[in-house]
Copies of this chain bind each other. A is one copy, B any other.
């Protein structure tokens, strides 16, 4: 297929002029412009975007990492990112990390070798140092709080989320409260646990280790929780759960085993997955789609500000309680 040089030759102009036409530069004679456009059309010419990328040093692609693609929480974030990105003519490279630091590094690498202009990490498992290192190659935004010095974030205040959930359950009279979270030591989990322990301490309850469930990632994990609850000495009367789909697993399994929700077991979910609405799960959450939107905005600004010295910025989303039928 033709390239810009050929078009220039056919039109009897220089390559620069064709380039100007292609980029809508104003200083081109209207007659020539028309002529060139005609030839471009005839030749069915389009720019080779790799040449453009090489030349401009930008790809108009941003990367998005997430542990797994098939999860509604992350899908909602991407939805927010995608809508905003589309408006600014950015494409998305979606990369599944499986929470594996190796794989994550290979994605961070895309920043270094210029395949992407910026990166949004919906979740991360890399170390602080790794993140700081790669932040030198292009802007990175995380969609969870992070403890680096250079990487900005947009995040839900998970501490506050759990706080609101706990306070609500306690107000309802619950004292034996359990929790369910995903990755044991992630930043988010630490915050959630802090709220959990603080609140229980405030009413002088010492939580039993039997009330805590970690590494809950799938619906099945939620169901398994109920099985385990059956064998606890002092069964909790309420559970606060990091994700609605896990809450859903708990609720369905409870109902199957004849444990009444909310009478025997109250459940609070902590995100905005649609299954929460469908199953009428009481939820403390903020919009993850909105989070995605903010993340892109922040990233976009940084891509154009260019100055990588830009200070760390943090945007927090405040969660809200949505009372439904599981409490």
- Interface SS of chain A: helix
Is the pair B75, A114 in contact by a Cβ cutoff of 8 Å?
Answer: no
Q: Does A78 contact B (CB under 8 A)?
A: yes
Q: Does A287 contact B (CB under 8 A)?
A: no
Interface pick from A13-21, A49-57, A161-169, A302-310: A49-57
Hey, which bits of chain A sit against chain B, CB under 8 A? 46-51, 53-54, 59, 61, 68-72, 75-76, 78-79, 82-83, 86, 91-96, 103, 109-110, 112-115, 219, 245, 248-249, 252, 274-275, 277-279, 289
- Give chain B residues whose Cβ lies under 8 Å from the Cβ of A68: 79
Is the pair B96, A94 in contact by a Cβ cutoff of 8 Å?
Answer: no
Contact of A59 among B50, B95, B113 (CB under 8 A): B50
Known contacts A51-B54, A82-B96, A93-B93; A248 and B278 CB within 8 A of each other: yes
Contact of A46 among B70, B109, B252 (CB under 8 A): B109
Closest to A85 in B: B96
Is the pair A114, B72 in contact by a Cβ cutoff of 8 Å?
Answer: no
Is the pair B46, A54 in contact by a Cβ cutoff of 8 Å?
Answer: no
Instruction: Kindly provide the distance from the CB of A213 to the nearest chain B CB, expressed in whole angstroms.
Output: 18
- Give chain B residues whose Cβ lies under 8 Å from the Cβ of A86: 96, 103
- Give chain B residues whose Cβ lies under 8 Å from the Cβ of A279: 252
- Give chain B residues whose Cβ lies under 8 Å from the Cβ of A114: 48-50
Known contacts A50-B50, A92-B93; A79 and B72 CB within 8 A of each other: no
- Give chain B residues whose Cβ lies under 8 Å from the Cβ of A95: 91-92
Report how far A30 CA is from B162 CA in the complex, Å: 58
Known contacts A72-B70, A93-B91; A47 and B113 CB within 8 A of each other: yes
Known contacts A53-B53, A54-B48, A93-B92; A72 and B69 CB within 8 A of each other: no
Report how far A54 CA is from B249 CA in the complex, Å: 49
A49-B115, A86-B103 known, 12 other contacts, Cβ within 8 Å: A47-B113, A49-B110, A49-B113, A51-B54, A53-B53, A70-B75, A72-B75, A92-B94, A219-B278, A245-B274, A249-B278, A275-B278
Report how far A48 CA is from B109 CA in the complex, Å: 11
What are the 10 closest A-B residue pairs judged by CB atoms, nearest first? A50-B53, A50-B54, A70-B79, A70-B75, A94-B94, A49-B113, A49-B115, A46-B113, A82-B96, A69-B79
Known contacts A50-B54, A79-B70; A61 and B93 CB within 8 A of each other: yes
- Give chain B residues whose Cβ lies under 8 Å from the Cβ of A93: 61, 91-94
Report how far A94 CA is from B78 CA in the complex, Å: 10
Interface centre among A82, A110, A248 (most CB of B within 10 A): A82
7 contacting pairs across A/B (C-beta < 8 A): A46-B109, A46-B113, A50-B114, A61-B93, A69-B79, A70-B289, A252-B279
Closest to A218 in B: B274
Instruction: Kindly provide the distance from the CB of A145 to the nearest chain B CB, expressed in whole angstroms.
Output: 23
